[in-house]
Amino acid sequence: MTRYEPWRGLALWGQEEETAALEVLRSRSLFRYYGPELLHRTDSFERELAELLEVPHTVAVSSGTAALACALIGLGIPEGAEVIMPAVTFVACANAVVWARGVPVFAEVDDTLTLDPVALAEKVSDRTWGVLPVHLNNAAADLDPILAVARRHDLVVLEDAAQAAGVRYRGRRAGSLGDAGAFSFQLEKNITAGEGGAVSVRDPLAHQRIVRYQDQGGQFTTARGESRAQAAEPFLGVNLRMTELTAALLRVQLGRLDPMLAHLRSVAAEVRAALPELHWRRLPDEEGSGGDLTFFLGSRLEARDRVAALTADGIPAHTLYQGQPVYSSPAIRAGRTPWGTRWGTPARCRDSEGLLGRSVTISLGATMTAADVRAVITALRG
């Protein structure tokens, strides 16, 4: 049994979420575009998230994967274009690129466990259209050198901020520095409704394409005769809309985001300061992290044994992605998509495999107490 709950946004749920949900349920208007007494919670969430991120536009969608795909499509990815991403990430990144008719390409990470800008530059080819840096486990990727490579090669930058909502990088929010950002509100995330996502974007035309794509293309007539049309060239889309109930839950948590991240950051800093001898994951912006406790050991075997010992002490510990890079997926290795085989076996990123396999991560919780922090330090010293 763990000593504390390793949840972030979910750990802070309470009466405010219940009240927000009941308001929507009583309105009988769970669909974001109309209803008997529409409360416009999704519109409000989009506006408030944009204000938090200091970007002109956000679009609320049904998941983080949907956010990635909508962003790629909104930004105009050509069919067959390559998008470079880190070898250490969740499979949704590759899935979204394939969804948008692109080809994922995998590059090494460095000791931040995020995209290595040198490796990124080496992977750029005449087929490369974009780069997808990932802010991993509540810590920002070192974006300045990544953005410099992208500018040099005229690449589109889509930030995956699914695991880092609210985190800052040198004063700016993750997901606000590139051409677009993608967020997830799945159960483990910093704010959560169990599922949900959002896209942040600056370009107004890309914003309109995203809005339309996630709403069946935005130009149609229903069986009852209602129409939704926009003054632009029509195209076909899909249904990736967020519900009013999801947005209502998320709005409550936006105000808690910064205090929660400050607490997690403080916890992580205290533990790292007490154990400077550990080989901690390098954070490009210490003050801007959202709280991460990841360190590296000498071998996979040592990492496995340390995870087992910490877990036995009640400390929620694991090796990220079980030490497996994203291209360990059989489908990715074989290049298999729903439409057939589209690429050959990706080259292995051996440095990334080594770092990932030797890593140990301690999950932090939003309600951790001083006693919980002492327990983590004691267990690590043991």
In one-letter notation, the amino acid at residue 312 is A
Q: Where are the domains of the chain?
A: 9-254, 257-381
Rg, Å, the chain Cα set: 21
CA atoms of 157 and 145, how far apart (whole Å): 12
172: left (phi over 0), alpha (psi -120 to 50) or beta: beta
**Pairing relationship of beta strands 220-221 and 340-341 according to DSSP bridges:** unpaired
**Per-residue pLDDT, 231:** 67
DSSP state of 12: G
H-only helix segments in the chain: 15-27, 41-53, 64-74, 92-99, 117-123, 143-153, 204-213, 244-254, 257-274, 300-312, 330-334, 350-357, 370-381
**Per-residue pLDDT, 2:** 85
Distances (CA, A) of 178 to 137, 160, 257, 275: 19, 10, 22, 35
**Per-residue pLDDT, 228:** 77
CA atoms of 21 and 250, how far apart (whole Å): 10
Fold match between domain 9-254 and domain 257-381: no
**Per-residue pLDDT, 350:** 98
* Torsion sign (Cα): 124, 198, 165, 88: negative
Task: Give the CATH class of 257-381.
Answer: alpha beta
Burial class (CB in 10 A: 0-12, 13-18, 19+), 125: exposed
Residues 214, 241: contact at Cβ < 8 Å? yes
pTM above 0.85, yes or no: yes
Per-residue pLDDT of the chain (382 residues; tens, 9 = 90+): 789 999 999 999 999 999 999 999 999 999 999 999 999 999 999 999 999 999 999 999 999 999 999 999 999 999 999 999 999 999 999 999 999 999 999 999 999 999 999 999 999 999 999 999 999 999 999 999 999 999 999 999 999 999 999 999 999 999 999 999 999 999 999 999 999 999 999 999 999 999 999 999 988 777 777 777 776 788 999 999 999 999 999 999 999 999 999 999 999 999 999 999 999 999 988 778 899 999 999 999 999 999 999 999 999 999 999 999 999 999 999 999 998 999 999 999 999 999 999 999 999 999 999 999 999 999 999 8
| Domain 9-254 fold | Aspartate Aminotransferase; domain 2 (3.40.640)
Distances (CA, A) of 100 to 33, 71, 95, 283: 26, 9, 9, 31
